[in-house]
């Protein structure tokens, strides 16, 4: 793969922020200067809407952390600004294949779906897998049939298409065509070029009044991914993790690295075995472990005391958090 010099990655951390009950991310998003001010406003509004929806569940409706995670992620899946649900990126053969997972910090129960093409809100399918089957992960047709039987919204695959993502695919296809064969990897693809790609995977971490944590993540994956490719988002321990004893984590970034480095569970392990705080834990893994190997990405973390942190080794991370008393912070880039 193409090696990048370390200075191409900015270092950005938040936290620990106190009294947080819900954090969300909209992925790495775009680099500073790419979006117009109107587009930035639209992304910020989407993140704030997700935070407020989850906050309402946790406070006014007295819902649990799983309910808040699901509610927040459904908003982001329905918003074409984000690479999850509507607005998902395309595979190399021009389809949208969606992945999602959710985890309950009380008992490490988890559910996930991968490669679904017609489930409107994959996060709800992930939750249904967790609550209505004995399994953790269902894929493609089996997951789709299960979601339909579970009464979830099924849509025509064309529902997920947006012109922006289609244009991204066409640009990538053109680039592949124009490359000399010598630049292609053994499977016939261009080597990965993390700094030129942005993953807008979405995710949420929540803490309810009973002190229970939950985490969830949903994505369309990576533009031009080989069909059938599954990233980290539906892999428990890689893209998503939650345990009341440590923290809730949702990740975004170059999925293959997040699987190989087991990023979400490693962040939890930093807290479990070293006793560090959420900020140190997420920074150690995102900047200390992934950055030296050019594993581009980020994570958000929340612990049982309501301490929130995030870290990115890229030049952006769309994220926000909300406190119990309704104070919202949204940021798009590292500071």
Closer by beta carbon to ligand GLY, 231 or else 306: 231
- Least Å from the CB of residue 142 to ligand GLY: 20
Closer by beta carbon to ligand GLY, 212 or else 219: 219
- Least Å from the CB of residue 211 to ligand GLY: 29
Q: Where are the alpha helices (DSSP H) in 247-335?
A: 255-260, 263-274, 278-283
Beta carbons within 8 Å of 182's beta carbon, 6+ residues apart: none
Q: At what angle do helices 65-78 and 122-132 cross, to 10 degrees?
A: 150
- Least Å from the CB of residue 268 to ligand GLY: 18
Candidates 59, 91, 117, 201; catalytic one: 201
- Least Å from the CB of residue 181 to ligand GLY: 26
**201 carries an active-site annotation:** yes
d(CA 301, CA 154): 31
> Strands 12-17 and 20-25: what pairing?
unpaired
SS3 assignment, position 33 = coil
- Least Å from the CB of residue 184 to ligand GLY: 20
Closer by beta carbon to ligand GLY, 17 or else 98: 98
What DSSP element (H or E) covers 56? helix 37-58
> Strands 137-139 and 247-253: what pairing?
unpaired
Ramachandran category for residue 2: left, alpha or beta (phi over 0 → left; psi -120 to 50 → alpha): beta
C-alpha distances in Å from residue 127, one per residue of 123, 136, 228, 264, 312: 6, 10, 22, 18, 27
Closer by beta carbon to ligand GLY, 66 or else 298: 298
Q: Is the dihedral of CA 72, 73, 78, 81 positive or negative?
A: positive
Closer by beta carbon to ligand GLY, 253 or else 320: 253
The residues binding ligand GLY (CB under 6 A) are 199, 201, 219, 221-222, 231-233, 252-255
d(CA 316, CA 318): 7
- Residues marked active site are found at 201
């Amino acid at each position: 793969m193409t090696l990048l010099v370390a200075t191409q990655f900015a270092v950005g951390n938040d936290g620990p922020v106190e009294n947080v009950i819900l954090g969300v991310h909209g992925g790495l998003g775009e680099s500073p200067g790419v979006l117009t001010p109107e587009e930035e406003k639209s992304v910020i509004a989407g993140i704030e809407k997700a935070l407020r929806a989850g906050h309402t569940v946790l406070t006014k409706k007295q819902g649990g952390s799983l309910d808040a995670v699901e509610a927040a992620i459904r908003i982001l899946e329905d918003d074409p600004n984000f690479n999850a649900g509507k607005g998902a990126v395309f595979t190399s053969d021009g389809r949208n294949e969606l992945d999602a997972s959710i985890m309950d910090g009380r008992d490490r129960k988890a559910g996930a779906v991968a490669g679904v093409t017609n489930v409107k809100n994959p996060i709800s399918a992930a939750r249904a897998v967790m609550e209505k089957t004995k399994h953790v992960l269902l894929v493609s047709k089996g997951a789709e049939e299960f979601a339909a039987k579970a009464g979830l919204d099924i849509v025509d695959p064309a529902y997920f298409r947006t012109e922006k993502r289609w244009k991204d695919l066409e640009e990538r296809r053109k680039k592949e065509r124009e490359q000399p064969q010598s630049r292609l990897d053994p499977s016939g693809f261009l080597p990965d070029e993390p700094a030129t790609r942005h993953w807008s995977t979405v995710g949420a971490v929540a803490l309810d009044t009973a002190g229970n944590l939950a985490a969830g993540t949903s994505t369309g994956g990576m533009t031009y991914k080989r069909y059938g490719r599954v990233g980290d988002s539906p892999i428990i321990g890689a893209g998503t993790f939650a345990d009341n004893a440590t923290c809730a984590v949702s990740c975004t970034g170059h999925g293959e690295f997040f699987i190989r480095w087991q990023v979400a569970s490693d962040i939890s392990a930093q807290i479990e075995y070293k006793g560090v705080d959420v900020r140190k834990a997420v920074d150690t893994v995102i900047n200390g472990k992934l950055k030296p190997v050019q594993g581009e990405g980020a994570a958000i973390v929340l612990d049982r005391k309501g301490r929130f942190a995030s870290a990115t080794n890229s030049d952006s991370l769309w994220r926000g958090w909300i406190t119990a008393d309704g104070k919202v912070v949204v940021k798009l880039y590292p500071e």
